[in-house]
């Protein structure tokens, strides 16, 4: 059973049959057709030679097919990780240089090792540190940067930069050198691909094709753009007119590469590799979970880390660069009917065949066409609806998202992710340190207790009930002391304080110390402290402390019992005191 857990292939592989084979095969063909131009384009985006995109789409897919748990995730080069690779490796060497390629290999290796380690230590929960608004903001900002960076290839100019200010000033400086044939190809390809996305499927349906095949056929749009623009470039001799093309791609299977064992370099790339790891993992798991749920399957996040880890390590040893599960391709794979990870392995075979035999056909492919592919793909990542929804729902979450977008656009992907994580965390800690609490009273003729500010309720000036709406931890322990003592200071008649703990799920050692302090301070002022509605696990733990021995009052199972009984106690106290008071008033004592 343990082997099954670490090698999911043993599970689905044992039930593999002819139908699954056919379905996986069909899906693989469609994904391969989509992946050929994408892998070239994303390698280019990462500042790497095009064949590296192909190499990153062979062995990593096979590794994921063996170790991954998603049935339909399509692993390989993706836009955001390619941009992050460009940024990280640019700090080491000039894009395209041998040192740059070596740095990309090291990034794949480190990222693979991090993933594997996190998987073995079951640290998948670390991905939680990225909140949805932060991830959404980061992807949107990355999409904008990527689309802008590709404008240079559409315009046929030299420009570079990894942040919006750099990109815009760089494009501004070189805009005078626009190459008109390149611009025409670029604009036509972009327009065609946008139309394919929106208009081709409806057209095919109107022409009589069923909806599903029409949708899949429309996904082949990029390959049509590739073919047409390549033929046009050759026929019209556009290369001589300054249109940049992909050029010669070696015809070979992936080479065996050994990443540099240069530990200074490793140290320099460790943080970027960690960020690539986390962003890649979060993106991949989100896609994987969404698709698995549609077929009532499940993925195992910890095993996913192992699957993606081995994929990246194989990328490092086969001339690739960091990979992860991509959104668009996975959806196509799913829609095309892929049933098992074998579809990924078949895709790998398809790409291997392409790398061996089809690369000569791609030599005259204009780079502007690849840029168009990227622009159309990443603009679908730019999400302008979510910020509006989040603004309405939570200003704090919106602030984290806006900061992530702003910092990513202005300072780049790495500061963007770090700021996003930092801000989410800071907001969370700030909120946790000032929780909600309410003074409650009894709703007449019920046993319910509600906030005195929101409901008409019955209270007694001698009894103060405070409902704490949060677990008590070291972050809010000091707040708790201040809040309770302040409430008591304001209400002089109070003799009994009840803490209603219905929403308290844990009390840590710091909070326990604060409760002890509160108990003693109230006792010094002649006020007794009670708890009500304490949950089972919390009570079990309190029994292991000295708090229950020291508590001046007692613990009530229900708030209603606490309130009713303390009213009687307070009445009895007053009755006992009254004669004395009366004597005092008459000067008799």
Q: Which of residues 455-474 bind a second copy (CB under 8 A)?
A: 469-471, 473-474
Encoded tokens for 474: 């070291």
Residues 3-62 that bind a second copy (CB under 8 A): none
Q: Could you give the 3-state DSSP secondary structure of residue 324?
A: strand
Stretch that binds a second copy, among 28-36, 267-275, 296-304, 336-344 (CB under 8 A): 296-304
Residue 388 interacts with a second copy (CB under 8 A): yes or no = no
DSSP per-residue codes, 340-377: STHHHHHHHHHHHHIIIIIGGGGTT-BHHHHHHHHHHH
- CB nearer to a second copy: give 206 or 454: 454
From candidates 79, 154, 273, 475, binder to a second copy by CB under 8 A: 475
From candidates 304, 397, 414, 460, binder to a second copy by CB under 8 A: 397
* Beta carbon of residue 78, minimum distance to a second copy (angstroms, whole number): 20
- CB nearer to a second copy: give 266 or 428: 428
Task: List residues bridging with 545 in a β-sheet.
Answer: none
From candidates 5, 132, 197, 244, binder to a second copy by CB under 8 A: 132
- CB nearer to a second copy: give 356 or 509: 509
- CB nearer to a second copy: give 97 or 389: 389
352-382 b/e (C-beta count within 10 Å ≥ 16 → b): bebbeeebeebebbbbbbbbbbbbbbbeebe
Residue 69 interacts with a second copy (CB under 8 A): yes or no = no
Q: Counting Cβ atoms within 10 Å, is residue 8 exposed (0-12), middle (13-18) or buried (19+)?
A: buried
Residue 271 interacts with a second copy (CB under 8 A): yes or no = no
d(CA 351, CA 440): 67
* Beta carbon of residue 422, minimum distance to a second copy (angstroms, whole number): 12
d(CA 415, CA 403): 11
Q: Between helices 413-433 and 79-90, what is the axis angle to 10°?
A: 110
- Helix and strand numbers (H, E) in the chain are 26, 8
- CB nearer to a second copy: give 359 or 514: 514
Neighbours of 584 (CB within 10 A): 11
* Beta carbon of residue 293, minimum distance to a second copy (angstroms, whole number): 5
Residue 394 interacts with a second copy (CB under 8 A): yes or no = yes
From candidates 307, 435, 441, 553, binder to a second copy by CB under 8 A: 435
Task: Please state whether 500 falls in left (phi above 0), alpha (psi between -120 and 50) or beta.
Answer: beta
Q: In what order do the strands lie in the sheet with 496-500?
A: 449-451, 437-442, 463-468, 496-500, 528-532, 555-556
- CB nearer to a second copy: give 257 or 514: 514
Nearest Cα to 48, choosing from 101, 90, 116, 87? 101
Residue 536 interacts with a second copy (CB under 8 A): yes or no = yes
- CB nearer to a second copy: give 198 or 294: 294
Nearest Cα to 35, choosing from 276, 223, 225? 223
Residue 294 interacts with a second copy (CB under 8 A): yes or no = yes
Residues 412-431 that bind a second copy (CB under 8 A): 424-425, 428-431
Stretch that binds a second copy, among 61-69, 77-85, 140-148, 289-297 (CB under 8 A): 289-297
- CB nearer to a second copy: give 239 or 508: 508
* Beta carbon of residue 543, minimum distance to a second copy (angstroms, whole number): 10
507: phi then psi, degrees, rounded to nearest 5: -130, 115
DSSP per-residue codes, 259-306: ----HHHHHHHHHHHHHHHHHHHHHHHHHHHHHHHHTT----HHHHHH
Residue 546 interacts with a second copy (CB under 8 A): yes or no = yes
Is residue 171 within 8 Å of 164, Cβ to Cβ?
no
Stretch that binds a second copy, among 86-94, 305-313, 325-333, 396-404 (CB under 8 A): 396-404
- CB nearer to a second copy: give 155 or 275: 275
- CB nearer to a second copy: give 369 or 476: 476
Residue 444 interacts with a second copy (CB under 8 A): yes or no = no
Residues 506-525 that bind a second copy (CB under 8 A): 506, 508-510, 512-514, 517, 521, 524-525
- CB nearer to a second copy: give 244 or 431: 431
Site string for a second copy, 483-502 (x = CB under 8 A): --xx--x------------x
Residue 479 interacts with a second copy (CB under 8 A): yes or no = yes
Query: Which DSSP category does 557 fall into?
Result: S
Neighbours of 74 (CB within 10 A): 30
Is residue 110 within 8 Å of 84, Cβ to Cβ?
no
- CB nearer to a second copy: give 208 or 526: 526
* Beta carbon of residue 345, minimum distance to a second copy (angstroms, whole number): 27
* Beta carbon of residue 333, minimum distance to a second copy (angstroms, whole number): 20
* Beta carbon of residue 494, minimum distance to a second copy (angstroms, whole number): 13
d(CA 323, CA 55): 11
Encoded tokens for 330: 């996975």
Residue 451 interacts with a second copy (CB under 8 A): yes or no = yes
From candidates 293, 356, 548, 572, binder to a second copy by CB under 8 A: 293
248: phi then psi, degrees, rounded to nearest 5: -70, 130
Is residue 243 within 8 Å of 366, Cβ to Cβ?
yes
Total chain residues near a second copy (CB under 8 A)? 72
Residue 544 interacts with a second copy (CB under 8 A): yes or no = yes
Beta strand 528-532 pairing with 463-468: unpaired
């Amino acid at each position: 059973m343990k082997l099954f857990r670490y090698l999911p292939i043993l599970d689905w592989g044992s039930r593999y049959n002819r139908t699954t084979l056919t379905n996986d095969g069909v899906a693989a063909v469609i994904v391969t057709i989509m992946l050929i131009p994408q892998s070239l384009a994303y390698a280019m985006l990462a500042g790497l030679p095009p064949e590296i995109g192909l190499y990153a789409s062979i062995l990593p897919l096979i590794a994921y097919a063996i170790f991954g748990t998603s049935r339909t995730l399509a692993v390989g080069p993706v836009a955001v990780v390619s941009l992050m690779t460009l940024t990280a490796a640019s700090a080491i060497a000039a894009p395209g240089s041998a040192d740059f390629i070596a740095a990309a290999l090291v990034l794949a290796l480190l990222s693979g090792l991090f993933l594997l380690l996190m998987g073995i230590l079951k640290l998948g929960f670390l991905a939680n540190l990225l909140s949805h608004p932060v991830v959404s903001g980061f992807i949107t900002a990355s999409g904008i940067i990527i689309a802008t960076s590709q404008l240079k290839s559409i315009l046929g100019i030299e420009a570079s930069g990894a942040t919006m200010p750099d990109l815009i000033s760089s494009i501004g400086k070189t805009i005078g050198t626009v190459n008109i044939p390149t611009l025409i190809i670029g604009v036509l390809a972009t327009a065609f691909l946008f139309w394919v996305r929106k208009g081709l499927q409806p057209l095919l349906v109107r022409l009589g094709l069923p909806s599903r095949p029409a949708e899949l056929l429309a996904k082949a749009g990029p390959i049509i753009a590739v073919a047409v623009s390549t033929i046009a470039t050759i026929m019209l001799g556009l290369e001589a007119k300054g249109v940049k093309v992909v050029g010669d791609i070696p015809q070979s299977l992936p080479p065996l590469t050994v990443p540099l064992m240069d530990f200074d370099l490793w140290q320099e790339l460790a943080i970027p590799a960690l960020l690539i790891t986390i962003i890649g993992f979060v993106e991949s798991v989100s896609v994987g979970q969404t698709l698995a749920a549609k077929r009532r399957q499940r993925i195992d996040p910890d095993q996913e880390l192992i699957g993606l880890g081995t994929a990246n390590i194989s990328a490092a040893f086969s001339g690739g660069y960091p990979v992860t599960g991509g959104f668009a391709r996975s959806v196509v794979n799913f829609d095309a009917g892929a049933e098992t990870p074998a579809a990924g392995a078949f895709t790998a075979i398809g790409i291997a065949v392409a790398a061996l035999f089809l690369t000569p056909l791609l030599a005259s492919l204009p780079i502007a066409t690849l840029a168009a592919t990227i622009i159309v793909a990443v603009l679908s990542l730019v999400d302008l609806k979510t910020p509006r929804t989040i603004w309405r729902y939570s200003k704090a979450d919106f602030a984290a998202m806006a900061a992530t977008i702003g910092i990513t656009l202005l300072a780049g992907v790495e500061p963007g992710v770090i700021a996003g994580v930092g801000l989410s965390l800071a907001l969370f800690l700030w909120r946790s340190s000032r929780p909600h609490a309410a003074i409650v009273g009894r709703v007449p003729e019920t046993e319910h207790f509600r906030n005195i500010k929101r409901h008409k309720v019955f209270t007694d000036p001698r009894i103060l009930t405070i409902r704490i709406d949060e677990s008590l931890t070291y972050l809010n322990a000091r707040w708790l002391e201040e809040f309770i003592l302040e409430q008591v200071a304001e209400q002089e008649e109070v003799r009994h304080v009840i803490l209603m703990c219905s929403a308290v799920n844990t009390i840590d050692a710091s909070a326990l110390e604060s409760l002890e302090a509160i108990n003693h301070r109230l006792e010094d002022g002649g006020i007794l402290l009670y708890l009500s509605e304490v949950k089972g696990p919390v009570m079990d733990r309190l029994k292991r402390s000295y708090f229950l021995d020291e508590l001046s009052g007692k613990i009530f199972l229900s708030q209603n019992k606490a309130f009713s009984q303390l009213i009687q106690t307070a009445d009895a106290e007053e009755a006992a005191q009254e004669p004395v008071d009366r004597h005092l008033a008459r000067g008799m004592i």
